[in-house]
Each structure stands twice: as C-alpha cells, then as structure tokens.
A and B are shown apart, each in its own frame.
Chain A
Amino acid sequence: MSEGSAGESPERDTDESRRDFLKIAAAASAVLAFGGIASVMKAVVFPSIPASSQLSFPRVKVIALSALATGIPVEFNYPLDNEPNYVIKLGAKSEGGVGPDGDIVAFSDICQHLGCNWGYVPPRGSPKVNPSYVASGPVGYCPCHGSIFDLTQSAKVVGGPSPRPVPQVQLEVDSSGDIYAVGMGPPSIFGHNTGSNNVADDLQGGTLVTSTSGTS
C-alpha cells in the first residue's frame, strides 16, 4: 500500500508487523471457521446409529377400570393426538389383555389395508354394512373392504384383504384401577412407514398426547 513515505522508522515497523500479524490471524481464523464447518461432514461421513430414538412413547391414562363395560368400545387417541384407538373389555381372556380378567385390550382403529376406521362387532353380532356375516367371537370388522381382526388373538387377520394385524396398544393397570397406555406393538400404525416393524415410526407425524379422556 503506501510504503516508503518519510515517516518515523520504528512506527512504520510496528505498523507493518501489526498488519502482518492481522493477516496471519485472519487467514488462520478463516481456516478455523472452515474447519468448524467441515466437522459437520465428519458426523456424516462417520455416521453412528443413535442408541435410542429421540422420542419415546408417552404414558397416558386411558380410562378407569370401573368405567369400562364389557363389549362397549371406548375411543382414545394414542400415541399422537390424531391417532384413534379402541379400548374394549372383551369378556374373554385375550392375548395382551390386562385387568383382573385379562380381557381388556386396545388396538389402533386404522385398518392396515387402506386406512379406513374399523368397527367392533361383538360375539354373535353382525356389522351394519354386512348383515350376512355373523361373528363367532369379538372381532374388528372394517366396513371398506371387509377385513376381519380377531381381537382375542392380538387382531390376527381372519378374513378380508388386510395384509397385517392392526397394531396393539400396550396397556398397564396401576394399583388405583386406572388403565394406562404405555406403548405400541408392531407393526407400525398405518401411514407411519406402513408395513415397517419399527414402532418408533409411530412417534413421527404429529403431536404426542399428554393426557387423554375416553369418549364413547
């Protein structure tokens, strides 16, 4: 720049060395800044699978034992606030059932075929859309294409086109007689990476419930 003017020599020198220092510092700083950005790549180039997923299933009260009558399903949202499920006291001991008789089960209300909401059919009952079918035990019947789920065997598919059973809600009863939903079994709920066996997929796609009140 403006070198060689008739200024005092020592001041010029300190000026020059200061400018040199700043030049090195700026270059070093740039290298450090880009080094920081590069560390993002490091996380990607050497990926590590996270030990546990970041969200976990909430524990929410569904309904009190005393409020549940045999054969009357109660709807509740779990684990997201836009996912309907049914909790039913079946009256017969069932797989995954809780409660003193082991007959209280809950399942996702979304059919695994194409996402319709299925309805509960009691033993010897018939669904409104298909009066010719008579259920031998408590089943879920989907009105869209006729998928039938045996609710005593963890919603095993016993008829219709559904490729998988609907996921079962994991329930717990605590000492004061309240039923809690604590998780979901596989497969994942319809619409959450449909067909996957990774239940963590159920936690994406909406807001987790914090409390729930049963509605009939």
Chain B
Amino acid sequence: MRIYLSLQVIFLIALQVTSLVVLWAMTPLTQSATDTFALYLSMDLVAFVLISYIYRSTRMSREPSRVWMSVGYLALVVLLVSNLALA
C-alpha cells in the first residue's frame, strides 16, 4: 500500500501540474469556458486535498482511510468526466 501511496502522490501532482498549465493558458470569455475553468481549478484543489490527507495520515502513522481516498478519487473522476462532457 505504501508504494502505491507514492505512486498515487506522483499521479496527483501530475494532475495538478496539468490543471495549472490549462488554467494559466485559458482566457475564459464565455460561460462554458468559465465552467471548464472552474472544473480544472476544482480538480487542482481536490488533488491537493488528497495529497495533504495522505501526508497528514502518514505523519500520525496511520493508513489513510480507504473510504475517504475513494471519495476523493470519485470526485476527481466526476470532475474529469464533466470536463469532457462539456467540451
């Protein structure tokens, strides 16, 4: 599980970097562009929440709860899918 944790963290950071690049490159002028902007920013923030949750749990020598991790990933998937549905 702990190896997978590091992999997950790397994946989440990659997601954040992607979102950041998109966010700074965009100039949202229409409502749908603003929607996309909001979705990417939310993905960025949720990825951070997941990483910080892993960090905090590790510091307290606890496994991050599977339930909350799954909720977080589910949220990311929903956001990603909405993004694709919008485009």
Contact = CB atoms under 8 A, between A and B. Distances in A.
CB atoms of A and B under 8 A apart anywhere in the complex?
yes
Interface residues of B, number: 31
Interface of B: 2, 6, 9-10, 12-13, 16-17, 19-20, 23-24, 26-31, 37, 40-41, 44-45, 47-48, 51-52, 54-55, 58-59
A29 B23 contact: no
A29 B2 contact: no
A29 B51 contact: yes
A102 B41 CA distance: 54
A22 B2 contact: no
A25 B28 CA distance: 30
B14 to A, nearest CB: 10
The 10 closest A-B pairs by CB, nearest first: A33-B48, A36-B44, A26-B55, A39-B23, A32-B16, A29-B51, A50-B29, A29-B48, A25-B9, A22-B55
Contacts of B19: 32, 36
A36 B40 CA distance: 9
Interface of A: 1, 18-19, 21-23, 25-26, 28-30, 32-33, 35-37, 39-40, 42-43, 48, 50-51, 54
Q: Is the interface of A mostly helix, strand, loop or mixed?
A: helix
A37 B27 CA distance: 14
